Structure 1
Amino acid sequence: MLVVIALGGNAMLQREQPVELHVQRETLRQAADAIAQIAKEHQVVLTHANGPEMALLSLMNEDYEEVNNYPVNVLGAQTQGMIGFVFEQELRNAMADEQILAVTTHTLINTRDPAFLDPDHAVGPVFTYDQAQAIQNANPEWMLKADGNYFRRVVPSPAPQSILELASLRHIVASGNITLLCGGGGGIPVRRDSEGMLHGIPAVIDKDRTSCLLAEGIEADALVILTDADAIETQYQQPGSRRIKRCTPEALEQHEFAADTIGPKVESVCQFVRAGGKFAAIGALDRAVDILAGESGTHVMVDVPDGITYYD
């Protein structure tokens, strides 16, 4: 079975953990061990988030005043290289006899996407009012929004339209013997001008939406999104909340989910199943093997008795 596995930011770096290389390496080592077990039975294509790494690079960007700030899309490209290097290394250590390949990935977006009218994806550090004023004066093209008593830079998060490397990725997948790492951070956002030339766009693309687009494009059998929760809850951490075991897209969409956290994941798994995927699942990184075996996580599929079932 061909499986796309998307590692969320909270799976790669636990809440409150420092963005230290050795911490991330240990988490990616654990992920690589799980992937190695899965790869014994399935062909695997991996994607990953990059939120904590983007925040770290943004801080570094701000601290060095002698050079103009690098655009957000360039920082995203840096995270692909940084995470790709560490993750590929750990995968090679866990799968010494297998072929591993990390591919820098560009994602085409539409500059008329409504997201550009109301940027809402926070990147980088928080600023006090005085800091925000100084930052805004130095970078008039930036948009800053209040975040409690502080301010943060926000950028658009447009929907992915296509993956530029898709034909090459399909060719690699067709070889049948390569574990592929691509689509990091949703891909580097680019646009084409009227002459067909590519240009980077200062935006951030949702990793789960790109993972869904990738899974559809390579005709994967399954899409698995790994996070720090072992299943989707109907009312996260609220009294009476229930953990969903199996459901149809229609049943899952009857519930409300936070737009900035689990929402895009729910949207992506539903879209993948509707597009013809056998199943999609959301669950915890440390239960990845069990998720593929159907013993953990929330599984979304076309046919479920009564539309939805729950864990006891």
Structure 2
Amino acid sequence: MLVVAALGGNALLKRGEPLTAENQRRNVQEAARSLAEIVRAGHALVVTHGNGPQVGLLALQGAAYKPDELYPLDVLGAETEGMIGYLIEQELENELGHDRPVATLLTQVLVDPADPAFKKPTKFVGPVYSEEEAKQLADQRDWDIAKDGTYWRRVVPSPKPKDIPDLRVLQLLLDQGVVIICTGGGGIPVIERADGAMIGIEAVIDKDAASALLAERLKADALLMLTDVDAVYRDFGSETAEAIRHLSADEAEALVLPDGSMGPKVESAVAFSRAGDGFAGIGRLSDALAILEQRAGTVVSTQG
């Protein structure tokens, strides 16, 4: 099978951990062990990942310089895609004993400049702050901010992905048996000018939505969205919480889920399952192969 595995933020940074290179390296080593099981089981693998904390950190570092020297979000996205891809690529090569080629591709993703998301930023980036700190930074740096649980964070536009111009390169790599790391952080957001030329734009694309589009365009057999929760739950956080093991696309679409956690994952799972004959799986990173074999997590398909 061709499998697209989307790593949640916990693959690089567990909840509450400082954003250090050491912590990210250790967490990527754990992720590589789970991903290598998929490859050893005989499957072709494409890996995507998030970048919210990392792109926010780079933006903060850039803010230490002159305002007119700040790099835009598309460039910061490319930087984080290279940085995170390097870690995943190296640790996956180590885990596979260097017997399979692994490559990272900086991936452009086309968005619509008229997308309403540009007028309503919702994508969290960077570290968390107290309400007072966040409001002070928002005034100083002209940020949009929003509440994230008990904290506050910067939010930026998150337009929907429309196309993946680098798809031909990805297919060439797959045809040669390469394990690919791509579309990191939802890909580098670009728009198309009237003359057909492309240029980056200030945004961060949702990783799950971009992963679903990637899986659809590659005609993948399975899309895995791997996180730190073992399944989608009905009544999550309550005494009546119950793990859901199988969902039809219609059943999944009818669920009421938080926007910032399982909501985007289930929405992406529905989109992918309806686009072809494949299925989507949502669950814990350490259960990746078991989710693929439908022995763990939540499976979303057209039939349930």
Q: TM-score, normalised by structure 1?
A: 0.90
Distance 1:66-1:214 versus aligned 2 partners, 3 A rule: closer
Is the Cα contact below 8 Å between 2:273 and 2:301 reproduced in 1?
yes
Q: Does 1:33 align with 2:33?
A: yes
Distance 1:280-1:193 versus aligned 2 partners, 3 A rule: same
Segments of 5+ residues of structure 1 without an aligned counterpart are 137-142, 305-312
Give me the whole-angstrom Cα distance separating, in 2, the residues matched to 1:211 and 1:69: 28
Residue 155 of structure 2: aligned partner:
154
Give the letter for the 1:170 counterpart.
Q
Show the 5 A alignment for 1:282-297.
282-297=282-297
Is the Cα contact below 8 Å between 2:107 and 2:188 reproduced in 1?
yes
Distance 1:258-1:68 versus aligned 2 partners, 3 A rule: same
Task: Describe the SS at the equivalent of 1:3.
Answer: strand
Give me the whole-angstrom Cα distance separating, in 2, the residues matched to 1:66 and 1:131: 14
Distance 1:90-1:116 versus aligned 2 partners, 3 A rule: same
- How big is each residue's C-alpha offset from its partner over 1:215-252, in whole Å with a ceiling of 9 and x where there is no partner? 01111000000000000011221221210101101111
Residue 106 of structure 1: aligned partner:
108
Q: Does 1:123 align with 2:134?
A: no
Distance 1:70-1:6 versus aligned 2 partners, 3 A rule: same
Residue 163 of structure 1: aligned partner:
164
Give me the whole-angstrom Cα distance separating, in 1, the residues matched to 2:28 and 2:262: 22
Give me the whole-angstrom Cα distance separating, in 2, the residues matched to 1:146 and 1:94: 39
Distance 1:102-1:150 versus aligned 2 partners, 3 A rule: closer
Give me the whole-angstrom Cα distance separating, in 2, the residues matched to 1:268 and 1:133: 34
Q: Does 1:86 align with 2:92?
A: no
Show the 5 A alignment for 1:172-183.
172-175=173-176, 177-183=177-183
Distance 1:129-1:219 versus aligned 2 partners, 3 A rule: closer
Range that drifts further, 53-62 or 69-78: 53-62
Give the letter for the 1:85 counterpart.
Y
1:49 CA displacement: 0.6
Q: Does 1:275 align with 2:258?
A: no
Range that drifts further, 251-260 or 57-66: 57-66
Report the aligned-residue RMSD: 1.9
Is the Cα contact below 8 Å between 1:222 and 1:277 reproduced in 2?
no
Give me the whole-angstrom Cα distance separating, in 1, the residues matched to 2:153 and 2:259: 18
Q: 1:133 aligns with which of 130, 139, 157?
A: 139
Task: Describe the SS at the equivalent of 2:276.
Answer: coil
Segments of 5+ residues of structure 2 without an aligned counterpart are none
Give me the whole-angstrom Cα distance separating, in 1, the residues matched to 2:166 and 2:52: 23
Is the Cα contact below 8 Å between 2:73 and 2:202 reproduced in 1?
yes
1:85 CA displacement: 1.0
Q: Does 1:145 align with 2:145?
A: yes
Residue 99 of structure 2: aligned partner:
97
Residue 309 of structure 1: aligned partner:
none
Give me the whole-angstrom Cα distance separating, in 1, the residues matched to 2:193 and 2:4: 31
Q: Does 1:210 align with 2:210?
A: yes
Distance 1:107-1:146 versus aligned 2 partners, 3 A rule: closer
The number of aligned residues is: 297
Task: Describe the SS at the equivalent of 1:229.
Answer: coil
Larger radius of gyration: 1
Give the letter for the 1:135 counterpart.
R
Work out the percentage of aligned pairs sharing the same amino acid.
42
Distance 1:251-1:20 versus aligned 2 partners, 3 A rule: same
